[in-house]
Amino acid sequence: MTDVVLRTERLFKNFGALKATNNVSLDLRKGEIHALIGPNGAGKSTLIQQITGHLASDSGTVCLMDEDLISVGPAERARKGLGRTFQISSLAMEHTVLQNAVLGALGQRGNVMSFFKPVMKDAQLVSAAKAALAQVGLAEFAATRTADLSHGQRRQLEVAVALTLKPKAFLMDEPMAGLGLEGAQQMIGLLTDLRKEAPILLIEHDMDAVFALADRISVLVYGEVIATGTPEEIKVNPEIRRAYLGDEVPA
Amino acid sequence: MKRETWINGAALAVLLGVPLWAVMADEPFIITLATRAAIFALAGVGLNLALGTGGLVSLGHAAFFGIGGYAMGILASHAQSYAPIMEAPFLIEGTKSMPVIWLVAMVTSALVALVIGMLSLRTSGVYFIMITLAFGQMIYYFAISWPAYGGEDGLSIYVRNGFPGLNTLVPLQFFGLCFAILCLALVLMNAIHKSAFGLALSAARQNETRVLSVGMKPYHLRLVAFVISGAVTGLAGALFADLNRFVSPTMLSWQMSGEIIIFIIIGGVGRLFGPVIGAMIFILLEHTLGGLSEFWHVYLGALLLGIVLFAKGGVIGALAGREKAHD
């Protein structure tokens, strides 16, 4: 398949006797949002950490555009084109919103060992950063200290920083978590368009968002993918309804 | 203009004004004190890059201060005894030329910082503090037990080293030299703080995961910061030895490392002029209170306690408020 961007093959991760990730093989294809759902403790975040390299895998491979990334660390994987957002916002809190975005643009461009040129006057970096901020709707907050942002705005900034990386694939760990109804709608609108730039592997608890956004859904239970399919297929799969969705979900 | 800029300007004006006044009042000792303050400030400016911007609490920076001092002592002592440092495989002679001594001091400190940094930056937090302390102590005891250059007694130089076009034995001229180097270092640090490297280093202090996730390695950033930091503190050490015309293992002691940290804490951690103001206050206290009692460190301790408890941003933080994120 030529349209596979990101692929994991037989990934394993044990924490002692706990099988956090158990033989996970899944792929992310061009232009799609692939949602990863599952009950708390199913190993969704562990899997994302393994894919981004923040957590070493026991065995298996992670391939981005057919390049095996399993042996390299998180910094290299980011440079190769994995753009991630965190479940708990992970930003430089003392820096301004714009500085955080510029940091991402700087990571994308490389050449961080520059000691004399003021980075915030680098037109190329700043315009890339501002474009990303505008895309998530944070343009007017560019000069705000990140610590002074609301929870929802920090989630938007997470996405903006991932955007500045111009990644080949996005990995988003609950970008909707803690957003209000309006914020979630805004984020859904944003992600809908974003998948055209790069496909998104999305972890999300908000089922309305998942069914509104996802092209495909994988269900993770006890570290194992028990099903992968279109939202329609997942909705009617009786095993999943029992295990996870609850019977009251309208089919 | 921002308030902090005014404070910084005032600090420089005082540091420059006091020795000028001292020349007119014929108080050469005051000039020596001001020179001491400028040199300590330079040592602190060096450490501040690692500690303030990088968040690396190094309790071993006396190693670089002392290595700078010994670079001066060893080169100058060979020059005054006309005995070459080594003859085979090639001849290396001592020198009394400050620019050469500074270069050697900075390069040596940087190399030692590279080795210490490569090993200690694999740890963080308390372990980092302890490892840097351990390296500092190793070098300290090495200096004590190495008889070739005075061992415990240290090394005296009869005449201060020379700088082209200046008479460094005139206190004001030597002060001017140290002051100019301090200003240069401040310009350099200001540039680094605003550069791509500075942004990334500071971000790595605030959130390591974030920096990794945009494809940068915090370890590399910190190592480079540590090396630059060590080189600047080493240069300060060479100047300090030249000021006293004497170098001893005391310059390498962990108390010295602590004092450099104290300059930064008094002035304001991570502030460009933090160590400058801190060193000036330290010298002022040492001079005024030290005259009253041998135990003047008690008052220094009280001041530190007050700052840590009530003014975490140090003097600059208390006067200028939270650091404005630069645009």
Contact A95 B210 (CB under 8 A): no
Please give the pLDDT value at position B322.
73
Given a contact cutoff of 8 angstroms between Cβ atoms, the answer to whether A96 and A143 are in contact is yes
Write the pLDDT tens digit of every residue in B187-215. Answer: 999 999 999 999 999 999 999 999 999 99
Compute the distance between CA of residue A150 and CA of residue B291 in angstroms, rounded to an integer.
54
Please give the pLDDT value at position A251.
43
User: Is the N-terminal amide bond of B89 cis, ω within 30° of 0?
Assistant: yes
Which pLDDT band holds residue A246 (cuts at 50, 70, 90)? Answer: low
Given a contact cutoff of 8 angstroms between Cβ atoms, the answer to whether A96 and B325 are in contact is yes
Shortest distance, CA A122 to any CA of chain B (angstroms)? 9
Compute the distance between CA of residue B174 and CA of residue B176 in angstroms, rounded to an integer.
5
Mean pLDDT of B76-97: 87
Per the prediction, chain B carries an average pLDDT of 94
Question: B197: which chain A residues are within 8 Å (Cβ-Cβ)?
Answer: 112-115
Beta bridge partners of A96: A145
Per the model's pLDDT, the better-predicted residue between A179 and A99 turns out to be: A99
Please give the pLDDT value at position A207.
85
Which pLDDT band holds residue A2 (cuts at 50, 70, 90)? Answer: low
- Reported as type and span, the H/E element at residue A107 is helix A97-109
Please give the pLDDT value at position A148.
95
Question: B211: which chain A residues are within 8 Å (Cβ-Cβ)?
Answer: 103
Q: Is B195 helix (H, G, I), strand (E, B) or coil?
A: strand
Compute the distance between CA of residue A169 and CA of residue A173 in angstroms, rounded to an integer.
13
Please give the pLDDT value at position B313.
86
Taking CA atoms, what residue in A is nearest to B206? A92
Please give the pLDDT value at position B327.
45
Which pLDDT band holds residue B89 (cuts at 50, 70, 90)? Answer: confident
Q: Is B269 helix (H, G, I), strand (E, B) or coil?
A: coil
Mean pLDDT of B65-88: 92
Question: B245 pLDDT exceeds 70?
Answer: yes
**How far, in Å, are A102, A122, A140 from residue A127 at the CA level?**
9, 9, 14
Q: Are strands A200-203 and A33-37 parallel, antiparallel or unpaired?
A: parallel
Q: Does A8 touch chain B (CB under 8 A)?
A: no
Write the ipTM. 0.90
Question: A102: which chain B residues are within 8 Å (Cβ-Cβ)?
Answer: 199
B60: Cβ contacts below 8 Å, ≥ 6 apart: B116, B120, B131, B132, B133, B134, B135, B136, B254, B257
Given a contact cutoff of 8 angstroms between Cβ atoms, the answer to whether A83 and A162 are in contact is yes
Mean pLDDT of A51-62: 93
Please give the pLDDT value at position A50.
94
Q: Does A114 touch chain B (CB under 8 A)?
A: yes
Please give the pLDDT value at position A249.
47
Contact B192 A115 (CB under 8 A): yes
Q: Does A145 touch chain B (CB under 8 A)?
A: yes
How would you label B160-179 residue by residue, b for 16+ Cβ within 10 Å and e otherwise?
A: bbbbeeeebeebbebbbbbb
Question: A248 pLDDT exceeds 70?
Answer: no
Question: A74 pLDDT exceeds 70?
Answer: yes
Please give the pLDDT value at position A245.
60
Closest Cα partner for B255 from B1, B62, B24?
Answer: B62
Which pLDDT band holds residue A239 (cuts at 50, 70, 90)? Answer: confident
Per the prediction, chain A carries an average pLDDT of 90
Q: Are strands A216-221 and A224-229 parallel, antiparallel or unpaired?
A: antiparallel
Write the pLDDT tens digit of every residue in A20-31. Answer: 899 999 999 999
Which pLDDT band holds residue A89 (cuts at 50, 70, 90)? Answer: confident
First to last CA, chain A: 31
Please give the pLDDT value at position A247.
53
> May I ask the CATH architecture of the domain B30-320?
Orthogonal Bundle (1.10)
Compute the distance between CA of residue B233 and CA of residue B235 in angstroms, rounded to an integer.
5
Contact A75 B206 (CB under 8 A): no
Mean pLDDT of B218-227: 97
Please give the pLDDT value at position B320.
87
Q: Which two tokens stand for residue B217?
A: 């390695």
Compute the distance between CA of residue B121 and CA of residue B115 in angstroms, rounded to an integer.
10
Q: Does A84 touch chain B (CB under 8 A)?
A: yes
Contact B195 A54 (CB under 8 A): no
Contact B212 A118 (CB under 8 A): no
> May I ask the CATH architecture of the domain A1-81+167-251?
3-Layer(aba) Sandwich (3.40)
Q: Does A190 touch chain B (CB under 8 A)?
A: no
Question: B326 pLDDT exceeds 60?
Answer: no
Which pLDDT band holds residue A182 (cuts at 50, 70, 90)? Answer: confident
Amino acid residing at B32: T
Mean pLDDT of B218-235: 98
Mean pLDDT of B45-67: 97
Task: Walk across the sheet containing A224-229 and list its strands.
Answer: A82-85, A169-173, A200-203, A33-37, A216-221, A224-229
pTM above 0.90, yes or no: yes
Which among B199, B210, B211 is the nearest to A102, CB-wise?
B199
Contact B211 A165 (CB under 8 A): no
Question: How does DSSP assign A110-162, residue by residue?
Answer: ------SSBGGG-HHHHHHHHHHHHHHT-GGGTTSBGGGS-HHHHHHHHHHHH
Question: A112: which chain B residues are within 8 Å (Cβ-Cβ)?
Answer: 196-197, 200, 216, 221
The segment(s) of chain A belonging to CATH 3.40.50.300 are 1-81+167-251
What is the percent of chain B with per-residue pLDDT over 70, rounded to a whole number?
98
Which pLDDT band holds residue B1 (cuts at 50, 70, 90)? Answer: low
Please give the pLDDT value at position B81.
87
